[in-house]
């Protein structure tokens, strides 16, 4: 196949949840997808399901040497990335800041902030060089609306929001697009099991009697953002389940 005919996407966090659904959708849309995550066995299963247009890539986005060398690690014919989906990320813990684990905080920063930043640093120059490309970051409503226990997780997603907008400022005139997709409560992923350190009762309770957004909804959104004509850039898109909305600010009374 001629390299110029391929549309190549790189999706981080492809072994589960949104990432997996995004890979499935992008393959259906005709992309060749490099699916990256730590759990390579999951990615190989995904390749069994989706076929040879999916290339499994074992990658920890916190491994900054590997991330910096990503273009060398990816097979040469796939190294010209058109679409980067920075999706790998996690929340750890819901305790108030004064009770939170410092390790949890650092892992979130290393993954959601540093990993995403270094992936962007590695891939962006190639896009600018060819005057074409799109980076879609998976942010969160937690980056905009504070909530108890959101402390560092929300702050990492606020970083994603501002980094995305600042990239757009720097990329003026390059034709490279940047978008931040900010979902609210989503079910059908491992997000809450990870957040609650495997406490599935707590994780399931969050989704009790509510219809959350599902990974396919996020995949649909990402596919739409990517498929818009090249003269259209979605800067930020925020989506929530209809069943989720806003509460009043809290007041501590004497």
Binding region for ligand NDP (CB under 6 A) out of 34-42, 93-101, 162-170, 221-229: 34-42
Site size with ligand NDP, rule: CB under 6 A: 31
Q: Does 142 bind ligand 8X3 (CB under 6 A)?
A: yes
130: helix, coil or strand? helix
Q: Does 68 bind ligand NDP (CB under 6 A)?
A: no
Q: Does 150 bind ligand NDP (CB under 6 A)?
A: no
Q: Which one from 31, 145, 147, 153 is the annotated catalytic residue? A: 153
Q: Does 66 bind ligand NDP (CB under 6 A)?
A: no
Q: Determine contact, residues 181/135, Cβ cutoff 8 Å.
A: no
153 is catalytic: yes
Q: Does 108 bind ligand NDP (CB under 6 A)?
A: no
Beta carbon of residue 27, minimum distance to ligand 8X3 (angstroms, whole number): 25
Q: Does 88 bind ligand NDP (CB under 6 A)?
A: yes
Q: Does 141 bind ligand 8X3 (CB under 6 A)?
A: yes
Neighbours of 97 (CB within 10 A): 11
Q: Determine contact, residues 81/133, Cβ cutoff 8 Å.
A: yes
Q: Does 140 bind ligand 8X3 (CB under 6 A)?
A: yes
120 binds, among ligand NDP, ligand 8X3, none (CB under 5 to 8 A by kind): none
In angstroms, the CA 14 to CA 25 distance is: 12
b/e 64-95 (16+ beta carbons within 10 angstroms → b):
bebbeebeeebeeebbbbbbbbbbbbbbbbbe
The continuous run of DSSP H or E covering 135 comes out as strand 133-138
**Identified binder of ligand NDP from the candidate list 10, 17, 177, 225, rule CB under 6 A:** 17
Number of C-alpha atoms within 13 angstroms, CB side, residue 251?
3
Q: Which of residues 181-200 bind ligand 8X3 (CB under 6 A)?
A: 184-185
In angstroms, the CA 94 to CA 115 distance is: 22
Site size with ligand 8X3, rule: CB under 6 A: 6
Q: Which of residues 162-191 bind ligand NDP (CB under 6 A)?
A: 183, 185-186, 189-191
Alpha helices by DSSP H, listed for the chain, are 17-28, 40-50, 64-68, 70-73, 102-108, 116-130, 151-170, 191-195, 200-206, 215-227
Is 13 or 150 the residue whose CB approaches ligand NDP more closely? 13
Beta carbon of residue 20, minimum distance to ligand NDP (angstroms, whole number): 7
Q: Determine contact, residues 206/235, Cβ cutoff 8 Å.
A: no
Residue numbers of the site for ligand NDP (CB under 6 A)? 12-19, 37-39, 42, 59-62, 87-90, 111, 115, 138, 140, 183, 185-186, 189-191, 194
Query: Which residues carry out catalysis?
Result: 153
């Amino acid at each position: 196949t001629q390299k110029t005919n391929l549309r190549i996407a790189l999706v981080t966090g492809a072994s589960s949840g949104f990432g997996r659904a995004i890979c499935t959708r992008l393959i259906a849309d005709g992309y060749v997808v490099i699916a990256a995550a730590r759990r390579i066995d999951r990615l190989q299963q995904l390749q069994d399901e989706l076929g040879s247009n999916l290339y499994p890539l074992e990658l920890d986005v916190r491994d900054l040497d590997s991330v910096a060398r990503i273009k060398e690690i990816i097979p040469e014919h796939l190294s010209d990335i058109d679409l980067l989906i920075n999706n790998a990320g996690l929340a750890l813990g819901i305790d108030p800041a004064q009770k939170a684990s410092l390790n949890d905080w650092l892992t979130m920063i290393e993954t959601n902030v540093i990993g995403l930043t270094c992936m962007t640093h590695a891939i962006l120059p190639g896009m600018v060089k060819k005057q074409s490309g799109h980076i879609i970051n998976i942010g969160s409503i937690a980056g905009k609306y504070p909530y108890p226990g959101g402390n560092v997780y929300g702050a990492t997603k606020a970083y994603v929001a501002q980094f995305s907008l600042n990239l757009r400022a720097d990329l003026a005139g390059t034709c490279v697009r940047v978008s931040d997709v900010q979902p609210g409560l989503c079910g059908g992923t491992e997000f809450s099991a990870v957040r609650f350190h495997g406490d599935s009762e707590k994780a399931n309770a969050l989704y009790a009697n509510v219809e959350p957004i599902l990974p396919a909804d996020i995949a649909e959104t990402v596919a739409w953002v990517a498929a818009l004509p090249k003269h259209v850039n979605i800067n930020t898109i925020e989506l929530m389940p209809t069943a989720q909305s806003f509460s009043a600010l809290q007041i501590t009374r004497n």
